[in-house]
């Protein structure tokens, strides 16, 4: 299995494996697997575009045998249970998107307020002010969607669709805001020491992990159509 976050130092991993071949998604179960199980190998950390503070690697299960008492949850319903965790993770991804977007907005606001052209800061340009205003407005909308999904989770209500909407909108907003922030920071934003370029490299993964934007749109449509 490729692209597993924290696998370079995890002692335990939770995997979903086929336990009833031929029964599709209703024939899979969750297992806790110890890292030192014979046959389990973790590769060297993979090189990524961003998210330098977290490591990921490939895990190979070469004939690894796992006893039945390491099964988590119900037999054959592991995929369904894993989806519940994924759905909850989508609310967290949305919040991460808002957080990163806010950091990018702050960085752009700081740069634009301090960057002087002649006697005036570049916030004197309408383009700069309007871009910052749009970034803030989109982030606020993303935050409201995130809070709505989180409240449904707290209330024990069905939150799948709300989680997908929040994740879709917040992570795409984050990418947009990080791109605009780098643009507003000009050449300084493009330099390796700038926070803006780091935000720009970090943001994209939120649209990919925990189900890509397309998977969120499929989930939202399924709820519309039922």
Ligand X SMILES: Cc1cc2nc3c(=O)[nH]c(=O)nc-3n(C[C@H](O)[C@H](O)[C@H](O)COP(=O)(O)OP(=O)(O)OC[C@H]3O[C@@H](n4cnc5c(N)ncnc54)[C@H](O)[C@@H]3O)c2cc1C
Residues designated as active site:
210
Which one, 106 or 214, has the nearer CB to ligand X?
A: 214
212 binds ligand X (CB under 6 A): yes
9 binds ligand X (CB under 6 A): no
Alpha-carbon dihedral angle through residues 61, 62, 63, 64, given to the nearest 10 degrees: -40
Applying the rule CB under 6 A, the residues between 56 and 95 that interact with ligand X are 56
Per CB under 6 A, the list member of 10, 14, 16, 51 interacting with ligand X is 51
Which one, 10 or 77, has the nearer CB to ligand X?
A: 10
Per CB under 6 A, the list member of 172, 205, 221, 226 interacting with ligand X is 205
Q: In terms of C-beta density within 10 A (0-12 exposed, 13-18 middle, 19 or more buried), how is residue 164 classed?
A: buried
Which one, 131 or 173, has the nearer CB to ligand X?
A: 173
Per CB under 6 A, the list member of 98, 162, 209, 219 interacting with ligand X is 209
- Binding segment for ligand X (CB under 6 A), chosen from 33-41, 138-146, 159-167, 207-215, is 207-215
Per CB under 6 A, the list member of 39, 208, 221, 223 interacting with ligand X is 208
10 binds ligand X (CB under 6 A): no
43 binds ligand X (CB under 6 A): no
5 binds ligand X (CB under 6 A): yes
Residues binding ligand X (CB under 6 A): 3-5, 48, 51, 56, 205, 208-209, 211-212, 214
């Amino acid at each position: 299995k490729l692209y597993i976050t924290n696998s370079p130092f995890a002692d335990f991993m939770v995997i979903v494996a086929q336990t009833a071949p031929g029964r599709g998604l209703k024939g899979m179960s969750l297992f806790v697997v110890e890292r030192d199980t014979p046959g389990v190998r973790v590769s060297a950390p993979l090189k990524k575009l961003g998210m330098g503070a977290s490591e990921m690697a490939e895990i190979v299960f070469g004939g690894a045998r796992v006893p039945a008492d390491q099964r988590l949850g119900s037999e054959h319903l592991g995929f369904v249970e894993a989806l519940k965790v994924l759905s909850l993770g989508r609310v967290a991804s949305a919040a991460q998107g808002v957080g990163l977007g806010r950091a990018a907005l702050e960085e752009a606001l700081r740069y634009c307020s301090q960057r002087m052209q002649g006697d005036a800061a570049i916030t004197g340009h309408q383009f700069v002010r309007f871009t910052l205003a749009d970034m803030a407005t989109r982030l606020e909308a993303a935050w409201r969607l995130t809070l709505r999904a989180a409240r449904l989770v707290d209330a024990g209500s069905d939150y799948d669709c709300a989680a997908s909407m929040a994740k879709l909108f917040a992570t795409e907003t984050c990418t947009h805001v990080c791109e605009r922030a780098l643009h507003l920071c000009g050449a300084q934003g493009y330099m390796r020491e700038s926070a803006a370029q780091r935000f720009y490299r970090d943001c994209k993964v939120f649209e990919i992990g925990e189900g890509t934007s397309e998977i969120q749109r499929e989930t939202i449509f399924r709820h519309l159509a039922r």
